């Protein structure tokens, strides 16, 4: 994995290497030492790559740590969804499920405030709901670090969840880390990357998301989140910068969508880009028409569309018009593989009214186009992914 570093960061690495006295330290050991040096001396993190695991193209997870360990307590690490569709951070607290053997917290990593020397009590209650579950508890403050990086945010407000929804019981994640804007956050708790920008920890107020497709495989390295800049290793030149219509979600305008032609559906809608949503969601009637174009059948039990996997390579692309530019999502990025015979067409209908966005452009959109999130200028950049098409 290539890092883009400043002279100061390189000098720091050389200094630490000389202290260790060996050039054969593992990447994990070097990363931990660099992280602690960054915390101690207040060094800026600049361009930082964090890898995420790809769970068969249905979800992408990364690790964070919370707190400063008090010996002999170990570092407190949590597997989370790095979610651009929300703005709060929460992990299970050690009180979660304490007296309930059926609690969804039973198999989760839990946060112990007493094991961290940098923990600060907040005490305000929080409750947050998602499309698939909820979490509630109290807020606390501590140092939050993104794994694989030296990016550590001091006094980050996070939720210590004492209750989480049953949905999370069989999910491999411990919690969720939101990467939206503060306006979306419960109790206006600034999200970690907003805090990183405010604390001067990154070179640019930008983070880039690159996600890969791996079909039926579970890939330990399934993509990268790059904090503080773009990701030229994995992403091409920026195609367009899309101005946000609202800076809470990463929300913008989509003008049209279609299969044979982008002009098949031209009503225009508010949409969001969301790393925390596995599929692309849109108005029910529009999604039904698109699924029919693909020859997909609807599975009422699983509430999903499916097609024979053998037909994937012959499918047409999904065409979107955004910012007056026609964009195409290749069929390889529009499917997920629950098995080798029937593939999920990664579309779902959103029914009912409301004032929120009409479309959610989830992981299939982000597999096709790297998303460059510009916090300061409130805009979203798109660039072609450099991943090859073969699975």
Are the C-beta atoms of 161 and 80 separated by less than 8 Å? Answer: no
Instruction: Name the helix (H) or strand (E) containing 354.
Output: none
Nearby residues of 310 by Cβ (< 8 Å), 6 or more positions away: none
Inter-CA distances, 357 with 73, 202, 248, 360, 364, Å: 44, 30, 11, 7, 18
Which residue is listed with tokens 């005490």? 123
User: Hey, how many other C-beta atoms are within 10 angstroms of the C-beta on 353?
Assistant: 6
The single residue of 274, 330, 344, 363 carrying the catalytic annotation is 274
**Cα(339)–Cα(211) distance, rounded to whole angstroms?**
21
The single residue of 83, 115, 231, 363 carrying the catalytic annotation is 83
User: Is 54 designated active site?
Assistant: no
Are the C-beta atoms of 165 and 135 separated by less than 8 Å? Answer: yes
Between CA 241 and CA 387, with CA 374 as vertex, the angle to 5 degrees is 70
Buried/exposed code over 121-153 (b: 16+ C-beta within 10 A; e: otherwise)? ebeeebebebeebebbbbbbbbbbbbbbbbbbb
Are the C-beta atoms of 386 and 234 separated by less than 8 Å? Answer: yes
**Cα(109)–Cα(78) distance, rounded to whole angstroms?**
6
| Residues composing the chain | 391
User: Is 274 designated active site?
Assistant: yes
- Bridge partners for 329 per DSSP: 318
Inter-CA distances, 371 with 126, 206, 230, 267, 273, Å: 30, 10, 9, 24, 8
Give the residue ranges of DSSP H helices in 258-357.
284-293
Region at 354 (left for phi over 0; alpha for psi -120 to 50; beta for the rest) = left
Query: Which residues have a catalytic role annotated?
Result: 83, 274
């Amino acid at each position: 994995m290539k890092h883009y570093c400043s002279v100061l960061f390189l000098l720091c690495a050389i200094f630490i290497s000389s202290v260790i006295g060996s050039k054969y330290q593992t990447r994990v050991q070097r990363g931990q030492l660099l992280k602690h040096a960054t915390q101690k001396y207040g060094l800026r993190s600049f361009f930082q790559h964090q890898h995420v695991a790809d769970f068969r193209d249905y979800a992408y997870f990364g690790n964070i740590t919370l707190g400063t360990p008090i010996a002999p307590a170990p570092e407190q690490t949590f597997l989370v969804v790095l979610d651009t569709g929300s703005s709060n951070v929460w992990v299970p607290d050690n009180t979660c499920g304490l007296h309930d053997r059926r609690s969804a917290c039973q198999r989760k990593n839990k946060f112990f405030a007493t094991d961290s020397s940098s923990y600060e009590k907040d005490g305000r209650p929080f409750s947050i709901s998602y499309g698939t579950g909820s979490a509630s508890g109290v807020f606390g403050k501590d140092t939050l670090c993104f794994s694989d990086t030296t990016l550590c945010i001091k006094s980050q407000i996070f939720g210590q969840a004492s209750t989480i929804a049953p949905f999370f019981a069989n999910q491999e994640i411990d919690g969720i880390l939101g990467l939206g804007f503060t306006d979306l956050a419960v109790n206006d708790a600034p999200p970690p990357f907003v805090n990183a920008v405010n604390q001067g920890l990154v070179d640019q107020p930008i983070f880039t998301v690159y996600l890969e497709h791996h079909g039926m495989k579970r890939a330990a390295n399934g993509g990268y989140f790059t904090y503080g800049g773009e990701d030229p290793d994995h992403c091409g030149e920026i195609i367009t910068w899309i101005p946000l219509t609202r800076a809470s979600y990463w929300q913008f305008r989509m003008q049209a969508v279609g299969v044979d032609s982008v002009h098949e559906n031209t009503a225009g809608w508010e949409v969001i880009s969301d790393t925390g949503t596995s599929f692309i969601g849109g108005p029910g009637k529009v999604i039904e028409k698109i699924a029919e174009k693909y020859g997909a059948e609807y599975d009422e039990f699983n509430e999903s569309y499916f097609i024979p996997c053998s037909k994937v390579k012959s499918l047409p692309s999904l065409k979107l018009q955004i910012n007056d530019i026609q964009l195409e999502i290749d069929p390889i990025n529009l499917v997920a593989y629950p098995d080798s015979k029937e593939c999920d067409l990664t579309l779902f209908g959103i029914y009912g009214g409301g004032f929120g966005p009409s479309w959610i452009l989830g992981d299939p959109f982000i597999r096709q186009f790297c998303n460059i999130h510009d916090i300061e200028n409130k805009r979203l950049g798109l660039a072609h992914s450099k991943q090859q098409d073969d699975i």
